[in-house]
């Protein structure tokens, strides 16, 4: 949400947030803790929150924008999304989350096809997209896997890994840019904090002195 919120305020780039994981009302309440008034941006057609959660729970949505249970087909779903994007002149899109979306499909192979289609559709639309996912706990005895369904890491232009890392007696949230095509990005792991202003990335030397 910070990706969209800052895009609207700092770059005048309207955005879409598709929620498969959380009710839109809860999202607005959570973001209000950061003093982010999402409803004000929605009223100005700068932000569109698309409710794809209610249908999963078998409930009708009271939101302005929603996806019906019959729209699990990615092609049809993106026609709806693209129409909303054009209506508000969206430049950015956020999807939360890939695993929650994939629960709608009976087989992992169907979920993989849906992820591939969705990635292609976003690329063709001209929107800059970010999607959340989750991976299993990483360890020295396990091979590193950064895709829940085996395709996300490979079809994405960038992969940002968030973790909770313990060092000696301290534990910190961390952010690691694992991949960013066409960009000479830093490869080290940075501490990050969730503050009243949102996520702030710190330098290692500023945290571990």
Q: CATH code at 49?
A: 3.40.50.300
**pTM attached to this predicted model:** 0.88
Residues 163, 152 share a domain: no
Residue 137 half-sphere exposure, CB side, CA atoms within 13 Å?
5
One domain, residues 72 and 152 = yes
Do 87 and 182 share a domain, yes or no? Answer: no
Q: Block means of pLDDT (10 residues each) for the chain, length 209 residues? A: 97 97 95 96 98 84 82 78 95 94 85 88 91 74 66 87 76 89 89 90 77
Domain identity same for 80 and 129 = yes
Q: Are residues 12 and 38 in the same domain?
A: yes
42 backbone dihedrals φ, ψ, rounded to 5°: -65, -40
61, 143: one domain: yes
Number of domain units in the chain: 2
Range of the domain at 193: 157-209
Residues 100 and 202 in one domain: no
Could you tell me if 45 and 132 lie in one domain? yes
* 16 and 102 fall within a common domain: yes
């Amino acid at each position: 949400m910070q990706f969209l919120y800052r895009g609207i305020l700092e770059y005048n780039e309207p955005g879409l947030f598709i929620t498969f994981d959380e009710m839109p009302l809860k999202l607005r309440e959570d973001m209000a803790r950061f003093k982010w008034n999402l409803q004000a941006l929605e009223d100005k057609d700068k932000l569109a929150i698309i409710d794809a959660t209610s249908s999963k729970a078998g409930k009708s949505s009271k939101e302005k924008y929603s996806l019906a249970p019959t729209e699990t087909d990615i092609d049809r779903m993106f026609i709806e999304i693209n129409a909303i994007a054009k209506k508000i002149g969206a430049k950015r899109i956020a999807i939360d989350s890939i695993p929650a979306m994939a629960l709608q499909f009976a087989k992992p192979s169907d979920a993989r096809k849906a992820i591939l289609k969705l990635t292609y559709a976003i690329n063709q639309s001209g929107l800059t997209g970010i999607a959340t996912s989750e991976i299993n706990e990483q360890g020295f005895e396990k091979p590193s896997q950064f895709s829940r369904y085996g395709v996300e890491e490979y079809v994405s232009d960038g992969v940002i890994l968030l973790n909770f890392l313990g060092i000696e007696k301290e534990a910190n949230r961390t952010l690691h840019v694992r991949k960013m095509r066409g960009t000479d990005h830093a490869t080290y792991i940075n501490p990050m904090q969730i503050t009243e202003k949102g996520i702030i990335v710190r330098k290692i030397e500023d945290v571990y002195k």
